[in-house]
Amino acid sequence: MPNPRAGATPTPLRLEPTVNDAVDLLERYAAADRDLAAELDRIGAEASPSQRVSQATVTRLLRLLEESLVPGVQAKADLDALPNSLRWAGLTRWAQLAVDRAQPRPVEATA
């Protein structure tokens, strides 16, 4: 299922893009990649040599294209248009956010 973040309406870049803009573009691009990998895994699990592609699979692929892949490709093009220094700063912050999300969080006691 497409990631809602991947298909989010792209925020137009400001005249002077920021590191946060680069982070948003990287997240959209990465989300599209994750969505595509998940769908390909799903198709691979469903496929057999004697089975044709179902209409449901085609419908899911078309929805994925519209909701995730096109915004992901646009994000990649926008990233490529950024200055290298801004791309690297965005990549650094995006990677740190990913590490922070992956860190285990302490369990809060409940009363």
46: its two tokens: 């469903």
Sequence-ordered strand ranges (E) for 1-111:
none
Mean pLDDT across 7-31 = 82
Each residue of 67-108: pLDDT tens digit? Answer: 999 999 999 999 999 999 999 999 999 999 999 989 888 877
**For residue 1, what pLDDT is reported?**
42
Q: How many CB atoms lie within 10 A of CB 30?
A: 17
The DSSP-derived string for 6-18 is: TTSPPPPPPSS--
User: Which residues lie below 8 Å from residue 34, measured CB to CB, with a gap of 6+?
Assistant: 3, 6
Q: What is the pTM of this model?
A: 0.74
Q: How many CA atoms lie within 13 A of 19 on its CB side?
A: 11
**For residue 54, what pLDDT is reported?**
82
User: What's the rounded Cα separation, in Å, for the pair 76 and 68?
Assistant: 12
